Amino acid sequence: MAEAQLSEDRASEVMTVNIGPHHPATHGVLRLVVDLEGEVVRDLRPVIGYVHTGIEKSCEAQSYWKVIPFVERMDYVSYFFQMEAFCGAVERLIELEIPPRAKYLRTIFLELNRIHSHLVWLGTTALDLGAISMLWYCFRERDKILDLFEMATGQRMHTRYFQVGGVIEDIPLGFERKLRAFVDDMPVRVGQYEALLDRNEVFLSRTKGVGIVPRERLLELGVTGPLLRAAGEPWDLRKTFDYLAYPELDFKIPVGTVGDNYDRYRVRLAEMVESTRIVEQALEGLPAGPCIADDRKYVLPPRSELPTSMEALIHHFKLVTEGYRVPPSEIYYAIESPRGELGCFVLADGTAKPARVHFRDPSFVNLQAFREMSVGGYVADMIASLGMLDPILGGVDR
């Protein structure tokens, strides 16, 4: 299947076809220049940059706390992860410890966001493979997550919930009950998705044995995340590096064996269940206490203090107008996003604005493996492989 051969005696002719940048199957504004021999992909060049918006440059003109909404809009499906990468990097630069409750709350929202991101992936990719009903089911559950985001943060997307020092507000009354209902519901839903797809003849023959790239090659290409784990490499930054509440929680890292598109699908589905377990445990062990650090040099004072305390008013004024200064230094801080290693490099030059904010976006790096996933296969499988690669073009182009 993956190595389709054309007979030698037929007149072969290579045709170069342009797909995209505006094409529903490219999951964004991705342009593919594909050399086809009949239906077989012989070569492929991704052309990117169509949604480049210069976010990294714009960040250099903002004070640190104003950067957060910018970086959220890079990978628009996993916005909490960009926030965590940036806030975590700045917290390490100014050596600000965040309170335990904030760590747990961040973990909860990151994992909800991971489920959300995988749901969007599953819905759209299954749609590419002809399973249109999956889109409705996945977006039904996705909507519940967005409802939770809206309840806690006021926004459904691009929430600006994480702040340097913690999270902006504690979760509201009733949030826990709603989240618990979701957590109970989600594994059942994942089981239903599996029931729809796992024994679906069309889905199986479209995914099994397709798009295999050896594990060693994936590592050379810098691929991380579910793609790498599907090839049998149990590498997950949540386990290997110590950040947020992950060291205190019990969860497994699903891995695949063959590394084909079917394994990629299985790994992501299993990850959704594991993320649900993480959310459940984090909610169970949610410590009491403040949800944001109490360092008035970096963190806004509580609203209630403003009418009575002159100190608080001064701090508030200074933070909002000028922002805080970060001593000259630089850092690279990486976390596990739904697509792999999301790294944030922040260079501080001593002023209230960062001198450079760079994101190592996993979609951008993973896209390099796409050529090897597709060459030698059919053009229809190329579309399936692209879906399984799960690039978010906002993150690729930044």
Partner 1 sequence: MPDAPGLELIRGQIELDHPGAVIDTSFDHERAVLAIDPSHLLAVLTWLRDAPGQEYGFLSSLHAADYLPAEPRFAVHYELLNRDRVERLRVKALLGEPASPAGGAAGGTAPEEASATAGGGGSPAARGPAGQRLPEIDSCVELFPTAEFQEREAFDFFGIVFRGHPDLRRILLPEDYVGWPQRRDFPVGGEPVTFTYNERNYG
CB of 92 to partner 1, least distance (A): 5
Element (DSSP H or E) covering residue 201: helix 201-207
- Supply the DSSP symbol for 350: S
Nearer to partner 1, 37 or 330 (CB): 330
Nearer to partner 1, 90 or 291 (CB): 90
CB of 397 to partner 1, least distance (A): 6
Q: How far from chain centre, in Å, is Cα 78? A: 4
Whether the CA torsion 152, 244, 223, 254 is positive or negative: it is negative
Nearer to partner 1, 190 or 334 (CB): 334
CB of 347 to partner 1, least distance (A): 5
CB of 61 to partner 1, least distance (A): 5
Q: Which of 335, 330, 398, 322 shows the shortest CA–CA distance to 363?
A: 398
Nearer to partner 1, 255 or 283 (CB): 255
CB of 60 to partner 1, least distance (A): 7
What residues make contact with partner 1 under the rule CB under 8 A? 48-49, 52, 54, 56-58, 60-61, 92-93, 95, 219-223, 235, 240-241, 329-332, 334, 341, 343, 345, 347, 355-356, 358, 360, 364-365, 367-368, 397-398
Measured between alpha carbons, how far is residue 353 from residues 99, 211, 320 in Å? 25, 44, 13
Nearer to partner 1, 123 or 225 (CB): 225
Nearer to partner 1, 253 or 355 (CB): 355
Q: Which of 195, 164, 187, 183 shows the shortest CA–CA distance to 83?
A: 164
Measured between alpha carbons, how far is residue 163 from residues 98, 103, 166, 289 in Å? 10, 12, 5, 17
CB of 127 to partner 1, least distance (A): 28
Task: Enumerate residues 6+ apart whose C-beta is below 8 A from 176.
Answer: 283
Q: Which of 240, 194, 230 shows the shortest CA–CA distance to 334?
A: 240
How far is it, in rounded angstroms, from Cα 380 to Cα 376?
12
CB of 24 to partner 1, least distance (A): 23
Nearer to partner 1, 72 or 233 (CB): 233
How far is it, in rounded angstroms, from Cα 141 to Cα 149?
13
